[in-house]
Amino acid sequence: MKKKLLIIIGLLVIGLLSWMGYSSVQKLDQKNKSEAIVQNLNSLTNNLGLKVLNHNQPTIFMYFNSDCHFCQWEMKEIGKNIDKFQTYQLLLASFEPKRDALDFLQQYNLSQYYVEVNPDLLTSTIIGGVPQTFIYKDGKLAKHFKGEVKIEAILEVLE
């Protein structure tokens, strides 16, 4: 009886370790694919299904959520300094429902920069939490900020 119990426990442990290893490899593979996609503005926008973009214009792509305290602060700062972003293409995307995202952005007069993206595509393409800011120059990723970032840091990369 003890021998059968040990065999069963051993098989369960081996199965659990195998599943954990497989899951880790899958997550690493997804992360690598995501990193490859975001390196190029064209591949990012194609993957997300965005069509109307000027791929040669310096671009700021921000991934946000209206419930995020850091996102709220960033959008407030961008809204206050929007004149500094006029020569750049600003794209704001969220995984939340369109109406919620637009209502949030309207508070900061940024709703015209919202780009509607399939939430599943967005969360599978951009791994990690919000906010995230991607800055592209000549269609290539110049800088990727994870978390809160000051407006001055964004503009410094673009200049």
pTM score, whole prediction: 0.84
E strands in 57-117: 59-64, 89-94
Q: What is the pLDDT along the chain (159 residues), one digit of tens a residue?
A: 788 888 888 888 888 888 887 777 777 667 778 788 899 998 999 999 997 678 789 999 999 999 999 999 999 999 999 999 999 999 999 999 999 999 999 999 999 999 999 999 999 999 999 999 999 999 999 999 999 999 999 999 998
Return the closest-CA partner of residue 153 out of 105, 81, 68: 81
List phi, psi (to 5°) of 40: -130, 130
pLDDT at 19: 84
The reported pLDDT for the residue numbered 22 is 76
CATH class of 40-158: alpha beta
Give residue 62's pLDDT: 97
Closest CA to 155 of 71, 56, 87: 87
